[in-house]
């Protein structure tokens, strides 16, 4: 019986690491992500990410205890899931919803560092938020998880998205033709 319990405990990390992420769109057109499948949900394949070692020099003050802390910083995956890469967003106010998947959850003292077009925006712990006042055009969004010292633990890489603003055409503003006749150039 003891051997069976040890075997099951040994398999537990494998089962936990096989967590699946699903994406679906509700009746209102809002995209959702979760670990439980919903009707019409598609399974998301997350890219493998490589942890970046800390640039901070290690000391032998804690011996193996410090190694345990360093191992505890590891993340299996970190990805930008919203907006999607190469997605076109239409919003006159320049509002862009941003969402991340962090596996396992963000650790105490760690923050998500977000950059837009190479400019650092903010460090925070929220995995969902909105950018406001983004100009129209193509933008690059990148993110990394940093520790309390600001050292990068893991990077999600970067994605590109395109922000378009709606154009309102006025029916009374008809173009003039080259001969000066209004509406003749249509």
- Average pLDDT for runs of 10 along the chain of length 186: 58 55 77 77 71 49 34 77 93 91 91 93 89 92 93 92 78 56 48
* Rounded Cα distance, 38 and 35, in Å: 9
Ordered DSSP codes for the chain: -HHHHHHHHHHHHHHHHT--EEEEE-TTS-EEEESS--TT-EEE-PPP--BPPP-SPP-SSSTHHHHHHHHHT--SEEEEEESPTTEEEE-TT--EEEEEEEESPPPTT-EEEEEETTEEEEEES-SEEEE-SPPSEEEEEEEEEE-TTS-EEEEEEEEEEEEE---PPPTT-PPBPTTS-BTTT-
List CB contacts of 69: < 8 A, sequence separation 6 or more.
62
The pLDDT assigned to 170 comes to 59
Residue 17 backbone phi and psi in degrees, to 5: -70, -10
d(Cα 68, Cα 183) in Å, to the nearest integer? 75
Classify domain 47-56+72-164 at the CATH superfamily level.
Answer: Immunoglobulins (2.60.40.10)
Instruction: Check residue 63 and give its pLDDT.
Output: 35
* β-strand partners of 164: 90
Per-residue pLDDT, 71: 41
CB 46 within 8 A of CB 58: no
* pLDDT of res. 3: 61
C-alpha of 165 from chain center:
23
- Which residue, 76, 25, 70, 22, is CA-closest to 49? 76
Answer whether 0.75 is exceeded by the pTM.
no
Domain range annotation of the chain: 47-56+72-164
């Amino acid at each position: 019986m003891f051997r069976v319990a040890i075997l099951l405990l040994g398999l537990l990390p494998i089962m936990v690491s096989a967590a699946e992420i699903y994406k679906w769109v509700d009746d209102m057109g809002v995209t959702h992500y979760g670990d439980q499948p919903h009707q019409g949900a598609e399974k998301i394949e997350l890219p493998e990410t490589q942890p970046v070692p800390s640039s901070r020099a290690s000391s032998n003050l804690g011996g193996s205890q410090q190694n345990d802390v360093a191992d505890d910083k590891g993340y299996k995956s970190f990805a930008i899931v919203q907006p999607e890469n190469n997605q076109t967003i239409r919003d006159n106010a320049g509002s862009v919803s941003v969402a991340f998947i962090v596996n396992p959850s963000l650790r105490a003292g760690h923050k998500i560092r977000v950059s837009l077009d190479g400019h650092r925006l903010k460090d925070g712990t929220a995995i969902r938020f909105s950018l406001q006042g983004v100009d129209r055009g193509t933008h690059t969004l990148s993110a990394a998880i940093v520790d309390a010292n600001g050292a990068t633990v893991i990077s999600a890489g970067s994605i590109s998205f395109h922000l378009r603003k709606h154009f309102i055409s006025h029916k009374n503003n008809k173009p003039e033709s080259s001969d000066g006749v209004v509406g003749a150039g249509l």
